[in-house]
Each structure stands twice: as C-alpha cells, then as structure tokens.
Amino acid sequence: MPSEDRKAFLLRIDPKLWAELEAWAADELRSINGQIEFLLRQAVQQRRRKLPDEKAAPESSRNR
C-alpha cells in the first residue's frame, strides 16, 4: 500500500529503457522505483541550479 505522503501514478516506459534502469538500480542496491525517484530528484536539483542563469537571460531569448 502506498504511503500517504507519496503520489502514485502509472508510467508507461519502453521495455529496453526499463531493463537499463532495472540493471542500474540493482547495481546501486535500489528498487526500480527508488532509482527512478533518485534520478528525478537529481534532474530537479540540476534544473534548480540552472534557473537563476536563465532568469537573467533577456526576455526575447527565453521565448524562442
């Protein structure tokens, strides 16, 4: 049963990508769900680091 503080959702994913993620998760001793969540957190952190630079860019370059 999912924890009350977590959002459950359906994810359709290519079987080859699933196999790669599954192997990667096993290498890092994580569940596939834990690995996907880990990768998403990393992506969000990287995006947050880039946002201040993008906000400083001229308005015309952001709307392309």
State the Cα–Cα distance between residues 15 and 55, nearest whole angstrom: 37
Where along the chain do its domains lie? 15-55
Judge contact between 27 and 35, C-beta under 8 A.
Answer: no
Residue 61's pLDDT is 53
pLDDT tens series, the chain, 64 aa? 566 788 999 999 999 999 999 999 999 999 999 999 999 999 999 999 888 766 655 555 555 5
Residue 62's pLDDT is 52
Residue 2's pLDDT is 60
